[in-house]
Amino acid sequence: MRTRDSRGIGSVIAALAALIALPACAPGAGTSTTTTQTTPSPSAASTTEVVAPPAPTSTAHEVNWFDLDVGDCLADPPPVDPTVIAVPVVDCATSHRAEVYLRAPMAVNTAIADVIERTCGAGFSSYTGLSAGDARYSTTYLIDSAQNRTSSNPDPSTVICLLGAPGGGMLEHSARK
């Protein structure tokens, strides 16, 4: 004959109920703001400070680097590896490593460094309002070559000019004037 120990079952149920309710008792559970109260001193008035939760960080979305547009900001430096196609683009109001300031068509034979640097230099001034070579920014470029020797497209390449902080640092806002 089996007997039940009602005290054992009741203890198990009470323990389970306590475990379920425990997270609800944790400090800050279910709240998104923090309230701090100070005890007034005899010569000071009572104050209550409400601290807002931190602002959400901007999320990056992937874009193929050859589809970058003027005003796009990159979370990481431009790719140097030719196998890297997708780059993370973020809101320019958040920290970022580079910003596209010009897309310019280029003829096949002119897609060389000195011509690109002149083109990017002119675009830099238009975009930032600063003179080309301003020490507040460094510049670089990517070349998208959609060259097809059988077509009559005089500008089959596109230079994508980017600016960044000197030394690879972070930019905290857009450089656009």
Stretch 130-137: mean pLDDT: 94
Listed ranges 23-27, 54-58, 130-134; the one with the highest mean pLDDT? 130-134
CB 63 within 8 A of CB 98: no
Domain boundaries in the chain? 6-51, 61-168
94 or 20: whose pLDDT is higher?
A: 94
- Half-sphere exposure for 110 (CA within 13 Å, toward CB): 15
pLDDT at 48 over 60: no
Would you list the DSSP string of 4-36? --HHHHHHHHHHHHHHHHHHHHSTTTT-SSEEE
* C-alpha span between 94 and 123 (Å, rounded): 23
The pLDDT of residue 116 is: 87
Residue 55 has pLDDT above 50, yes or no: no
Instruction: Report the mean per-residue pLDDT for the chain.
Output: 74
> With 70 as the cut, is the pLDDT of residue 88 above it?
yes
- How sure is the predictor about 19, in pLDDT bands with cuts at 50, 70 and 90? very low
Q: Which of 86, 92, 98, 93 is closest to 141 using CA atoms?
A: 98
User: Residue 31's CB: how many other CB atoms inside 10 A?
Assistant: 9
Task: Answer whether 0.85 is exceeded by the pTM.
Answer: no
DSSP sequence for 73-127: EESSPPP-STT--EEEEE-TTS-BSEEEEEEEEE-GGG-SHHHHHHHHHHHHHHH
For residues 30 and 77, the model is more confident at: 77
pLDDT band with cut points at 50, 70 and 90 for residue 109: low
Structure-block tokens of residue 139: 């510049």
| Confidence band for 35, pLDDT divided at 50, 70 and 90 | very low
Write down the pLDDT at residue 27.
Answer: 42
Mean local confidence (pLDDT), 97-105: 96
pLDDT tens profile 140-161: 999 888 766 556 666 678 999 9
